[in-house]
A and B are shown apart, each in its own frame.
Chain A
Amino acid sequence: NAGVTQTPKFQVLKTGQSMTLQCAQDMNHEYMSWYRQDPGMGLRLIHYSVGAGITDQGEVPNGYNVSRSTTEDFPLRLLSAAPSQTSVYFCASSPRRYYGYTFGSGTRLTVV
């Protein structure tokens, strides 16, 4: 049981490049979310999903896309990277709203 797996752990992008941050969970959780963490800002919700085929925007969705074709995977796409997207990204999953989320170990992204 691997929990929530995020890849890559580190990434450097040039402004304007696109990429996909991968997230996979093997716990059959329905709920999945992407957060970004910036110093002094806590964690802010980017996008979330309540099941396969269902996604919606969170607090800071601009510049990011998501899809959820399976229960296990919830990739986050950066369409055209900007320096403001330099951050640590966390994927998390939960079986139900009151269980609390299980977090991945994060992807540290730098956009130059």
Chain B
Amino acid sequence: AQSVTQLDSQVPVFEEAPVELRCNYSSSVSVYLFWYVQYPNQGLQLLLKYLSGSTLVKGINGFEAEFNKSQTSFHLRKPSVHISDTAEYFCAVSGDFSGGSNYKLTFGKGTLLTVNP
């Protein structure tokens, strides 16, 4: 079985400060990793994904994430945040299982990022 742990439920930061949102996963097989963002009263939007290759992945809105296989982590970072980045962020994993179950996404419980002026 696969699982995702987002280590912080809430992260408050000041505008223009750097931020890191932490995500750890467990899986018995190779994984695909995703970060999604959810703005208030909206659906989820894909920020970035790791499939294979370079462990540093760049996404939309200036976000990036680094895949660390030895630490089973996929932390999300942004060097300078804006008020508009205030949202909930979800880490998700799908595994390279055989058969039809390999596309299922398992989500973490989310991290609420609040950017203060």
Contact = CB atoms under 8 A, between A and B. Distances in A.
Contact of B110 (A42, A92, A104): A42
B107 A43 contact: yes
Contacts, number: 57
Contacts of A97: 32, 94, 102-103
Interface string A95-112: 011101111111000000
B84 to A, nearest CB: 19
Nearest to B95: A97
8 contacts: A35-B107, A41-B109, A45-B104, A45-B106, A48-B104, A54-B100, A97-B102, A97-B103
A3 to B, nearest CB: 9
Nearest to B45: A103
Nearest to B34: A100
B94 A56 contact: no
Contact of B105 (A33, A41, A50): A33
A110 B107 CA distance: 23
What is the size category of the interface that chain B forms with chain A? 20 to 34
A50 B101 CA distance: 9
Given A43-B90, A56-B100, A101 B43 contact: no
A61 interface: no
Given A45-B105, A96-B103, A40 B43 contact: no
